[in-house]
Structure 1
Amino acid sequence: MEKQIINTKNAPAPIGPYNQAILSGNLLFVSGQIALNPDNNQLVLDDIKTETHQVMKNLNGILSEAGMDFDNVLKTTIFIMNMNDFAQINEVYGSYFTGDYPARETVQVAALPKGVNVEISVIASK
């Protein structure tokens, strides 16, 4: 199996023993992204919509580095702290796609890294 590590300065550097993404064949596996601004390494937690936009910007930075965009996304996983935030997260998330939405699951969790409210990972294909 051949795999290529994808890293970009347009998304936060990993905060553990993992990579931003791995490209294997035509499939891109993007690690979960949180609302960490890659320019200053600060969390963007003003409100849930702003936080979700930062997560999506980070995902976009990684997709772009791999020569892809949100049209290439096949599947997403959304982890959220509070299911009451789902509608606002969904509104922001949906604005990044053009209509052929990917498969998805959304799961409420007990905790996320650095105390954030939302984390999203994706699988994409060229």
Structure 2
Amino acid sequence: MALERKRKLSFTTKTKNYVRINMKELIASEHAPAAIGPYSHGTTYGDLIFTSGQLPVDSATGKVVEGGITAQSHQSLTNLKHVLEAGNGSLDTVLKTTCYLANISDFAEFNKVYAEFFQKDCPARSCFAVKDLPLGVLIEVEAIASKK
């Protein structure tokens, strides 16, 4: 787990003098696959965690998992779990997910796998069918969560 800290000081005057410290941390999970572009696995700001979209890539091989939507959904959600844990969160602290499917006919099968990961107190969710996803995958999942 690696967190990179960036500090920004903001001074405001007029009626008051005060210092506000904003802190953004970058999340890097050693258990999630490497990013395929110029982005981090996620960021935190205060008690909030924002993940990048997680693709169904096996971190050990760096390859897209085979086995259709079921296997790819499982891998994407497993990668999401690893990123959340690296940011001091968990699946239990997820507030909202956004899911992208390459084929909306995979929606029912995706829901079965999703229900294995979110068994109670399910977070808010949006799910969209999109024309294409990176690497030709069938699914991508991102989340907003709170720290534990």
Instruction: Calculate the TM-score normalised by the size of structure 2.
Output: 0.83
Please say if 1:55 is aligned against 2:76: yes
Of 67, 89, 96, the residue aligned with 1:46 is 67
**Structure number, greater radius of gyration:** 2
Structure 2 gap ranges (5+): 1-21
**C-alpha displacement of 1:38:** 0.5
Structure 1 gap ranges (5+): none
Identity %: 40
- Aligned-residue CA RMSD in angstroms? 0.8
- How many residues align? The count is 126
Aligned to 2:36: 15
CA–CA separation in structure 1 for the residues paired with 2:68 and 2:140:
14
CA–CA separation in structure 2 for the residues paired with 1:106 and 1:66:
24
CA–CA separation in structure 2 for the residues paired with 1:49 and 1:125:
27
**C-alpha displacement of 1:98:** 2.9
Aligned to 1:92: 113
CA–CA separation in structure 1 for the residues paired with 2:89 and 2:146:
8
Instruction: Calculate the TM-score normalised by the size of structure 1.
Output: 0.97
Please say if 1:120 is aligned against 2:141: yes
Letter in 2 for 1:49: T
CA–CA separation in structure 2 for the residues paired with 1:114 and 1:7:
21
